[in-house]
Structure 1
Amino acid sequence: MSFSTEERGNPNTLNYRVYFKNSDGKYISPFHDIPMYADEDQIIFHMVVEVPRWTNAKMEIATKDPLNPIKQDVKKGNLRYVANVFPHKGYIWNYGAIPQTWEDPGHTDCDTGCCGDNDPIDVCEIGSKVCSRGDVIKVKVLGVLAMIDEGETDWKVIAINTDDPEAKDFNDITDVQRLKPGYLEATVDWFRRYKVPDGKPENKFAFNGEFKDKEFAIKTIKSTHEFWKALFSKQTNAGELNCKNTCVSEAGSAFCLSPEEAKAIVEKTSPCGNTGLIPDSVDKWFYYEK
């Protein structure tokens, strides 16, 4: 199973989008149409890369837009970039999401005491390769961090690309602690402080900021998959989420898009054009005492 992307609009501007296609050339939703598992028997998951390592643009699957393309987050009409909070330059992993998962804002997690954040579950991929925006990679899950973001549960799965030359050496969170010393501590530090330059307080964590192991992480992912399935059975109100898809729902259902309808959605957007300028402020460093 392979996937490709099509850029539309102007990079670094408000109209930029990244749409997805499957191997048949059909437009698909990366939120709904890409299977959660790349290999269920081996417990290997798909990951949609939203943000390549070392970059600053806060890109994300647009859960409320038709076909759920990747777009840049916007705050008060301006594109969002994460600050370089010393010593971290941009995102310190390939960052993205596992498709066909959803952190239900109507469900209070028994471990964190907080509701979900209304998004697919997030992934920090720690392999050596810097991925590209829109890559769909296969990952081995190693553990998970429970961040509390403004009162919402925001799980951060730690995983490694199965194509990474060192992937065979990583099988649980303890292997990350042993083979990449300091990386998990840097991960907690990054998530704790990345919103401070925007005037927000430091984020907090469940479990005293400790990472839970592979077994716990897989259980958490599976639970978010069940929440996602509840959307499609209409056991849960989708709210503003756009659940239209071209591969999952049966023909005639409220969520089913025909290939022609999907193509029309993309063609309404602008072709890929000139790249906009990135503000100089994105390259500045932010310092503050922990």
Structure 2
Amino acid sequence: MSYTVEERGNPNSLSYRLFFKNADGKYISPFHDIPIYAEESKNIFHMVVEVPRWTNAKMEIATKDLLNPIKQDVKKDKLRYVANVFPHKGYIWNYGAIPQTWEDPAHKDGDTGCCGDNDPIDVCEIGSKVCSRGEVIKVKVLGILAMIDEGETDWKVIAINVEDPEANDMNNINDVRRLKPGYLEATVDWFKRYKVPDGKPENRFAFNEEFKDKDFAVEVIKSTHNLWKDLISQKTSAGKVSCKNTCVSECDSPYCCSAEAAKAAVDETCPCGKEDAIPASVDKWFYYERK
């Protein structure tokens, strides 16, 4: 299955949205309508790329918006950009999410002791290619990091694009240590410190900041897929999460969105316009003494 994206609004502005279509040209939700598995028998998963490597805009699947387009996160009516915390420039991997997963904010994780962050599970893709925003790729899972973000469980899956030249040589987390020395340590450092420029404390991690292996990661992903199944089947309260979809739910489900209704919703948004300028402050570096 191939997917395309459609830009609406002005890039780098509050109006910007990135909507998804399937191979039939039907608008879909990247959260609900893209299958979790690319090849289930091999544990190959789909990943929706939200943030290309080296960029700073904090883009994410809008879980509370109809059709869950990608948009930029906002705080105090301003677009959010991650700071360049020396020596890291923007995001140091292609960053995104595995569709049809959900970290339930009412479910306490048995390993971390904290509830979920109300989002699909996050992925750091470590291949050599810089992906495009909205690209849907197939990834091989290598391991996972358990971040505790302001008291919430926020798993970070480490994966590699199956089309990457090094993919055949990477099958578990130890292969990352061997072939990309320093990358895992940089990943912990990045997640620990990226909110400090905003006045937040350093993030914490379960398992003493250690990465768990591939098998552990796959089980975590499967558990978040089961939580998503409960969400989409109305066994769990959705809260403010938009569960509308065009491909998954039955026609009599309140979550079913017709192709016509989906198109009408997209048509109501602003057409793609001129790109706004990115603030010059985004390119500045932030330095502070590590504890």
Q: Where on the TM-score scale, by shorter chain, does this alignment land: which range?
A: over 0.9
Q: Secondary structure at the match of 1:120?
A: coil
Amino acid at match of 1:284: K
Ranges in structure 2 where 5+ consecutive residues have no aligned partner: none
Structure 1 residue 5: Cα displacement? 0.2
Identity over aligned pairs, percent: 79
Structure 1 residue 12: Cα displacement? 0.2
Q: For residue 199 of structure 2, what is the aligned residue in structure 1? A: 199
The 5 Å alignment of 1:22-33 reads 22-33=22-33
Q: For residue 2 of structure 1, what is the aligned residue in structure 2? A: 2
Q: For residue 225 of structure 2, what is the aligned residue in structure 1? A: 225
Q: For residue 11 of structure 2, what is the aligned residue in structure 1? A: 11
Q: Distance between the aligned counterparts of 1:120 and 1:244, measured in 2?
A: 15
Q: For residue 251 of structure 1, what is the aligned residue in structure 2? A: 251
Q: For residue 98 of structure 2, what is the aligned residue in structure 1? A: 98
Q: For residue 186 of structure 2, what is the aligned residue in structure 1? A: 186
Q: Secondary structure at the match of 2:42?
A: coil
Q: For residue 20 of structure 1, what is the aligned residue in structure 2? A: 20
The 5 Å alignment of 1:138-153 reads 138-153=138-153
Structure 1 residue 252: Cα displacement? 2.0
Amino acid at match of 2:143: G
Ranges in structure 1 where 5+ consecutive residues have no aligned partner: none
Structure 1 residue 239: Cα displacement? 0.3
Q: After the TM superposition, which parts of structure 1 deviate over 2 Å for at least 4 consecutive aligned residues?
A: none
The 5 Å alignment of 1:123-142 reads 123-142=123-142
After superposition, the C-alpha distances for 1:184-215 in whole angstroms (9 at most, x for unaligned) are 00000000000000000000000000000000
Give the count of matched residue pairs.
290
After superposition, the C-alpha distances for 1:243-283 in whole angstroms (9 at most, x for unaligned) are 00000001121000110000000000011000001111000
Amino acid at match of 1:272: C
Q: Secondary structure at the match of 1:115?
A: coil
Q: Distance between the aligned counterparts of 1:21 and 1:232, measured in 2?
A: 20
Q: Secondary structure at the match of 1:41?
A: helix
Q: TM-score, normalised by structure 2?
A: 0.99
Q: TM-score, normalised by structure 1?
A: 1.00
Q: Distance between the aligned counterparts of 1:235 and 1:245, measured in 2?
A: 17
Q: Secondary structure at the match of 2:57?
A: coil
Q: Secondary structure at the match of 1:48?
A: strand
After superposition, the C-alpha distances for 1:8-33 in whole angstroms (9 at most, x for unaligned) are 00000000000000000000000000
After superposition, the C-alpha distances for 1:17-70 in whole angstroms (9 at most, x for unaligned) are 000000000000000000000010111000000000000000000000000000
Amino acid at match of 1:24: D
Structure 1 residue 232: Cα displacement? 1.8
The answer on 1:174 being equivalent to 2:174 is yes
Q: For residue 208 of structure 1, what is the aligned residue in structure 2? A: 208
Q: Distance between the aligned counterparts of 2:42 and 2:143, measured in 1?
A: 16
The 5 Å alignment of 1:73-92 reads 73-92=73-92
Amino acid at match of 1:265: A
Q: Distance between the aligned counterparts of 2:74 and 2:105, measured in 1?
A: 21
Q: Distance between the aligned counterparts of 1:146 and 1:253, measured in 2?
A: 34
After superposition, the C-alpha distances for 1:214-235 in whole angstroms (9 at most, x for unaligned) are 0000000000000000012211
Q: Distance between the aligned counterparts of 1:125 and 1:233, measured in 2?
A: 30
